[in-house]
């Protein structure tokens, strides 16, 4: 018989194929000995898709039957006892290697850059810069051939502007950054100055100033060497700067190193036209304000020309503090320019101490402001006195100026 599976000829009575082991004879009921059901009719027409005659040797070519594949039942995988080992991480060694390589490259770049910089610095003789602790004088504006600053449009040509927000404090507003009395002197040195007649007794002088007003009056006194001899409670605050013709003069002096004699009438005659021409000569209000800020005149600001009443009515005003004004007077005295201030304050009721010489300006403006800017001298020493008032009138301002001149003369200059 031929094996219906592999087609190999086997013995007629063989139960199994000698080649593939297929069961060749069936048991009752048509089930092979291995229990496999035979798909076919009882008359033997088809068995697993092959004629039943294949069970008996027949002549002709042997055609192997088509056998349906047997699907093995799914067997669940065997799970070993205990936890499964963690899966192996992919690329771990490669990632670490890349990080190490990147770190080496960065370190090499840093070392190379440092060596290059040090070599370059040493070859050029350049030393690392250190911050200076010294206070230097601000740079001056560039002088043009016509004697005017290089920029009058409001853009500054100064490269080291050092201070100030450009906003002025009005009288009655406090300012912690510029209070008087912060000279760094010890109590012992202040006492020596008082005994040597270099400063005024604050308590007795305050009683004079505050007797007129604790709000609308400010007085400042400065010794010729820059020692602040006295500041009233409002001396560091801004008042209307009526009659203060000094800022543009000092700016020109400092910027161009020369006295602006062409504008001398701004001082000798308190001429507004000459004073405004001097402001133009230093670059206009913007450059003047920058110079004031650079030189730490933080409470002085000019927003209009002298005599421009309309601008004042529109809210543009010129301001200064008594402390700033006294320091400007002191600078004038150092240069000898105080002699150009020749306004006759005695004609307004200001009493000049006997034996004293006083060079002064007077100013009056809005808010009933009335100011006296004075340099009093005994021929050897000079003391600057700034008296600024508002809402007090000329009589009160003149009386206060008289009492301050008397106090300075009898305490600091008479002996």
Q: What is the pLDDT of residue 23?
A: 78
Q: Under a CB-based contact definition with an 8 Å cutoff, are residues 210 and 330 in contact?
A: no
Q: What is the pLDDT of residue 196?
A: 64
Is residue 400 over pLDDT 80?
Answer: yes
Tokens 């000279």, residue located: 183
Q: What is the pLDDT of residue 264?
A: 97
Q: What is the pLDDT of residue 10?
A: 79
Q: What is the pLDDT of residue 231?
A: 97
The arithmetic mean of pLDDT across residues 61-79, rounded, is 45
**Which tens digit of pLDDT belongs to each residue from 6-51?**
777 777 777 788 888 777 764 434 444 444 443 434 444 444 444 4
**Which tens digit of pLDDT belongs to each residue from 149-191?**
434 333 333 333 333 333 444 444 444 334 444 455 566 665 5
For residue 149, give the nearest of 291, 303, 320, 317 by alpha carbon.
291
Q: What is the pLDDT of residue 365?
A: 85
DSSP string computed for 24-75: -SB-GGG-BTT-PPP-B-TTSS-BTTB-GGGGS--SS---PPP-PPPPPPP-
pTM of the model: 0.58
Q: Which strand (E) or helix (H) includes residue 192? A: helix 187-195
SS3 (DSSP) at 362: strand
The arithmetic mean of pLDDT across residues 181-209, rounded, is 74
Q: Under a CB-based contact definition with an 8 Å cutoff, are residues 183 and 228 in contact?
A: yes
**Which tens digit of pLDDT belongs to each residue from 122-138?**
444 433 333 333 333 44
For residue 375, give the nearest of 185, 220, 216 by alpha carbon.
220
Is residue 412 over pLDDT 90?
Answer: yes
176-413 in CATH: which number? 3.40.710.10
Q: What is the pLDDT of residue 212?
A: 96
| CATH 3.40.710.10 domain range(s) in the chain | 176-413
Determine how β-strand 217-223 pairs with β-strand 239-240: unpaired
**Which tens digit of pLDDT belongs to each residue from 54-69?**
444 444 444 444 444 4
**Which tens digit of pLDDT belongs to each residue from 242-290?**
999 999 999 999 999 999 999 999 999 999 999 999 999 999 999 999 9
Q: How many residues does the chain have?
A: 415
- In the chain, count H helices and then E strands: 10, 7
Mean pLDDT of the chain: 75
**Which tens digit of pLDDT belongs to each residue from 286-327?**
999 999 999 999 999 999 999 999 999 999 999 999 999 999
Q: What is the pLDDT of residue 237?
A: 97
Is residue 93 over pLDDT 90?
Answer: no
Is residue 4 over pLDDT 50?
Answer: yes
Backbone angles phi, psi at 116, to 5 degrees: -65, -45
Is residue 233 over pLDDT 80?
Answer: yes
- What distance in Å separates the CA atoms of residue 304 and residue 300, rounded to the nearest whole number? 13
For residue 375, give the nearest of 230, 225, 248, 224 by alpha carbon.
224
């Amino acid at each position: 018989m031929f094996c219906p599976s592999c087609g190999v000829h086997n013995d007629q009575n063989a139960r199994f194929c000698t080649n593939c082991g297929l069961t060749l004879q069936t048991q009752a009921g048509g089930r092979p000995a291995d229990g496999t059901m035979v798909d076919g009719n009882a008359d033997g027409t088809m068995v697993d898709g092959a004629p039943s005659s294949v069970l008996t040797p027949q002549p002709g070519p042997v055609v192997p039957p088509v056998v349906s594949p047997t699907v093995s039942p799914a067997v669940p995988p065997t799970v070993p006892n205990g936890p499964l080992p963690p899966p192996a991480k992919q690329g771990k060694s490669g990632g670490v290697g890349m990080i190490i390589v990147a770190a080496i490259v960065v370190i090499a770049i840093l070392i190379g850059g440092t060596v290059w910089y040090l070599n370059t610095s040493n070859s050029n003789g350049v030393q690392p810069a250190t911050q200076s602790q010294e206070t230097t004088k601000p740079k001056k504006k560039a002088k043009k051939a016509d004697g005017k600053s290089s920029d009058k449009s409001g853009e500054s040509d100064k490269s080291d502007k050092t201070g100030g927000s450009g906003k002025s404090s009005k009288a009655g507003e406090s300012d912690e950054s510029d209070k008087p009395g912060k000279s760094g002197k010890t109590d012992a040195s202040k006492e020596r100055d008082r005994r040597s007649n270099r400063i005024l007794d604050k308590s007795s002088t305050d009683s004079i100033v505050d007797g007129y007003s604790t709000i609308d009056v400010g007085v400042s006194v400065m010794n010729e060497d820059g020692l602040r001899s006295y500041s009233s409670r409002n001396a560091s605050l801004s008042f209307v700067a009526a009659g203060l013709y000094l800022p543009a003069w000092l700016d020109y002096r400092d910027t161009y190193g020369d006295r602006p004699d062409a504008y001398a009438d701004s001082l000798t005659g308190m001429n507004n036209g000459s004073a405004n021409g001097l402001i133009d000569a230093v670059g206009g209000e913007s450059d003047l304000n920058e110079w004031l800020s650079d030189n730490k005149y933080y409470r002085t600001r000019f927003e209009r020309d002298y005599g421009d009443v309309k601008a004042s009515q529109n809210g543009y005003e010129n301001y200064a503090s008594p402390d700033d004004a006294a320091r400007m007077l002191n600078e004038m005295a150092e240069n000898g320019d105080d002699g150009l201030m020749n306004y006759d304050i005695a004609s307004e009721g200001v009493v000049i101490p006997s034996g004293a010489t006083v060079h002064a300006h007077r100013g009056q403006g809005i808010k009933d402001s009335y100011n006296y800017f004075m340099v009093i001298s005994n021929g050897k020493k000079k003391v600057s006195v700034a008296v600024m008032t508002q809402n007090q009138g000329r009589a009160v301002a003149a009386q206060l100026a008289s009492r301050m001149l008397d106090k300075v003369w009898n305490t600091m200059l008479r002996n």
